[in-house]
Amino acid sequence: MSEQQREALDQIMRNGPLDIGGNPEEQRGIFERMLTARPLPDDVHVTSGELGGVPTLIIEIEGKNSRAVLLWFHGGWYVMGSPRTSAGLSSDVARRTGTRVVSVDYRLAPEHRYPAALADALSAYRALLASGVDSQSVAFVGESAGGGLAAALLASLSENGLPQPACAVLFSPWTDLTLSGASMTTKVGIDPAFVPEKVRVRATDYVGSSDPADPCVSPVFTDLSGLPPLLIQAGSHEILLDDSTRLATKAASDNVSVILDVTPNVPHLFQAFAAKVEEGDAALSRVATFLKSHLRYNLDAS
């Protein structure tokens, strides 16, 4: 990324209208408008669906007819966002891999606190398998809170009698809702968008009266043994950096195959700006390589 690209992205993040600690209803609208302002490419087909009583959005690329599925969990600090706010990024990954996306519209806090999102994620995966999809043709993909949700779901599958998917990709996962990572302090001011005080508001919205250190809330504290291969990506300029590095360390300690991919001098979810910054494009190329190497599917139009 050129210095000019980096500064432009930094200014976009710093000057955006979103206040993640603000009123949920107001911020949901702002978040939705920000992330859906650019139309999806004409070859992206979007249809509504349902899995296990949970609404989904199915995203397919014209000419791609793979059996592989990316079960996608959007970001938004558990309080905002939807499959449509992540459709730009998810459709980009779908195009690069020849897969289809099934994006889970899990319930949001504070109206629906933990464990509602995790219950929805589990129901959706269970129903996806019941529909006849092979678990080895499924990858979990999650962004930010959705990345933490995907990690918590992975850790819960064994006790629920469900097989692991082929692999998982976690974009800057929020894995510690106690906010105890050092980067919550050391990256303040460097992170162009987020500060811990406002992140804590959203953590409280999601956790409610539960323990934020509960491993099902903060998967950085759980036993990750038996998980499939993981690719964890983050930017070095984000306060959630330690949520990624610590999860990767825990996974490695628990004998999980894990790739920690940290791009320097970029913010949270820089991959969403792949069309504008070369680091984002390069990161998504690595995601595509990882998914293609682990998924069982027909790449008849990749």
| CB-CB contact of 232 with 261 (8 Å) | yes
Of the residues 60, 143, 238, 279, only one is catalytic, namely 238
State the number of CA atoms in the 13 A half-sphere of 79 facing the CB.
28
| CB-CB contact of 235 with 266 (8 Å) | yes
- My answer on whether omega of the bond before 17 falls inside 30° of 0, hence cis, is no
Q: How far apart (Å, rounded) are the C-alpha atoms in residues 198 and 104? A: 25
Two tokens at 166?
A: 């082929």
Active-site residue flag, 238: yes
| CB-CB contact of 290 with 169 (8 Å) | yes
| CB-CB contact of 233 with 227 (8 Å) | no
The SS3 assignment for 222 reads coil
Please state, as a whole number, how many other Cβ atoms lie within 10 Å of the Cβ of residue 219. 31
Written as one letter, the residue type at 113 is R
| CB-CB contact of 276 with 9 (8 Å) | yes
Q: How far apart (Å, rounded) are the C-alpha atoms in residues 14 and 179? A: 21
Q: How far apart (Å, rounded) are the C-alpha atoms in residues 95 and 98? A: 5
DSSP 33-61: HHHHSSPPPTTEEEEEEEETTEEEEEEEE
Of the residues 103, 268, 279, 294, only one is catalytic, namely 268
Of the residues 144, 156, 183, 218, only one is catalytic, namely 144
Active-site residue flag, 103: no
For residue 167, give the H/E element and its range: strand 167-171
Active-site residue flag, 144: yes
Positions marked catalytic: 144, 238, 268
